[in-house]
């Protein structure tokens, strides 16, 4: 995505040339500008740069209206795309940290669609600062609420849901199969939960598919950069239902470039008699069966 970032000085110029925005300006420093979107005298959104003269790298939003910022979008690597979202519920001391990139050690959750929406929001901010900040704030409010809900779902997920979120958020997991007397392992990323079953997807033309048809016992492993990992042993069962293929393609649209629900190649498997073990360097393993 092409993102054009502007400096605080440029932003100030843009704001000052717009009478509506000028009225909203409540702080105007070298490193930060803040706007009061709803006219209550308190700043609702702030744009800042690490040093004067640098491009804006952080946007903070007060989602609760209590005068404290609780949503931060931060661009760590300076490419204009936020790498980190920091989100705090009202009054919470700790902020939930949501990472965008695989490189960010602090983060642990990939919120997929919601993050894509936030990226669009920030892209919008960078391109169009001064046009509709109120719209942007409303947009962020909407999505931050959805993000909190998602974080909550993850925090409380049990059983198969917990396994699904882990594999989904890890992004990539490794699928081991048996090939005669030899082990084979490869990266996989497709994951879907539907009707109480956890699905993965492959193509019938692949060696992995042939191995599964000969021996359906597999093991999956994934890890996150917070010192945790997951192993799941299971038997794979093929599900040829058109409906479940469509759901997978909808969830992971990039697959549409290679597969369709009506081709003779796309293949869906769900995990049966699964034993999942959540492991960590600092806690006892926890087992989940489904």
Ligand X SMILES: Cc1cc2nc3c(=O)[nH]c(=O)nc-3n(C[C@H](O)[C@H](O)[C@H](O)COP(=O)(O)O)c2cc1C
Binding to ligand X by residue 110, rule CB under 6 A?
A: no
Binding to ligand X by residue 188, rule CB under 6 A?
A: yes
- Please identify, among the stretches 2-10, 94-102, 145-153, 199-207, the one whose residues bind ligand X according to the rule CB under 6 A: 199-207
Binding to ligand X by residue 78, rule CB under 6 A?
A: no
With respect to ligand X, which residue has the nearer C-beta, 71 or 208? 208
Return the residue matching tokens 């100030």.
12
- Judged by CB under 6 A, the chain residues 152 through 181 that form the site for ligand X are 172
Nearest approach, Cβ of residue 54 and ligand X (Å): 34
Return the residue matching tokens 């942007």.
136
Q: Write the CA distances from 9 to 22, 31, 60, 115, integer angstroms.
A: 14, 9, 18, 28
With respect to ligand X, which residue has the nearer C-beta, 1 or 254? 254
Nearest approach, Cβ of residue 254 and ligand X (Å): 10
What are the backbone angles phi and psi of residue 179, rounded to the nearest 5°?
A: -120, 90
Residue 284: left if φ>0, alpha if ψ -120 to 50, beta else—which one? beta
Nearest approach, Cβ of residue 176 and ligand X (Å): 10
With respect to ligand X, which residue has the nearer C-beta, 3 or 104? 104
Of 48, 70, 202, 221, the one binding ligand X by CB under 6 A: 202
Binding to ligand X by residue 206, rule CB under 6 A?
A: yes
Provide the token pair at 163. Answer: 């396994």
The four Cα atoms 260, 263, 266, 267 give a dihedral, to 10 degrees, of 130
Q: Under 8 Å CB-to-CB from 180, ≥6 apart: which residues?
A: none
Number of residues that bind ligand X (CB under 6 A): 13
With respect to ligand X, which residue has the nearer C-beta, 16 or 186? 186
Binding to ligand X by residue 184, rule CB under 6 A?
A: yes
Of 58, 126, 190, 221, the one binding ligand X by CB under 6 A: 190
Of 153, 186, 242, 272, the one binding ligand X by CB under 6 A: 186
Q: Write the CA distances from 32 to 47, 48, 136, 279, integer angstroms.
A: 6, 4, 18, 43
Nearest approach, Cβ of residue 165 and ligand X (Å): 17
Reported in sequence order, the residue ranges of the chain that DSSP labels E, i.e. its strands, are 25-28, 32-35, 45-48, 58-61, 71-74, 84-87, 96-99, 173-179, 182-188, 192-194, 197-203, 217-224, 228-238, 266-280, 286-289
Binding to ligand X by residue 208, rule CB under 6 A?
A: yes
| Residues engaged in binding ligand X (CB under 6 A) | 172, 184, 186-190, 201-203, 206-208
């Amino acid at each position: 995505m092409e993102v054009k970032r502007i400096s605080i000085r440029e932003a100030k110029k843009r704001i000052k040339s717009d009478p509506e925005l000028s009225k909203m300006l409540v702080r105007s420093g070298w490193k930060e500008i803040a706007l009061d979107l709803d006219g209550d005298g308190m700043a609702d959104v702030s744009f800042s740069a690490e040093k004067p003269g640098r491009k804006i790298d952080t946007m903070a939003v007060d989602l609760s209206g209590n005068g404290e910022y609780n949503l931060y979008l931060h661009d760590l690597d300076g490419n204009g795309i936020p790498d980190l979202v920091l989100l705090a519920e009202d009054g919470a001391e700790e902020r939930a940290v949501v990472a965008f990139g695989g490189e960010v050690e602090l983060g642990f959750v990939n919120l997929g669609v919601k993050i894509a929406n936030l990226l669009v929001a920030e892209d919008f901010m960078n391109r169009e600062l001064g046009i509709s900040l109120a719209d942007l704030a409303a947009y962020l409010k909407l999505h931050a609420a959805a993000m909190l809900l998602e974080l909550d779902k993850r925090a409380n997920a049990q059983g198969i849901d917990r396994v699904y979120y882990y594999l989904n958020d890890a992004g990539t997991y490794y699928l081991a199969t048996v090939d005669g007397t030899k082990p084979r392992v490869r990266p996989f990323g497709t994951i879907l939960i539907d009707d109480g079953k956890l699905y993965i997807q492959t193509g019938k033309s692949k060696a992995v598919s042939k191995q599964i048809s000969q021996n359906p016992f597999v093991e999956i492993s994934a890890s996150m950069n917070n010192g945790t990992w997951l192993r799941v042993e299971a038997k794979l069962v093929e599900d040829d239902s058109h409906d479940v293929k469509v759901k997978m393609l909808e969830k992971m649209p990039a697959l549409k470039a290679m597969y369709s629900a009506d081709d003779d190649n796309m293949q869906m498997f769900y995990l049966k008699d699964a034993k999942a073990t959540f492991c960590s360097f600092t806690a006892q393993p926890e087992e989940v069966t489904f």
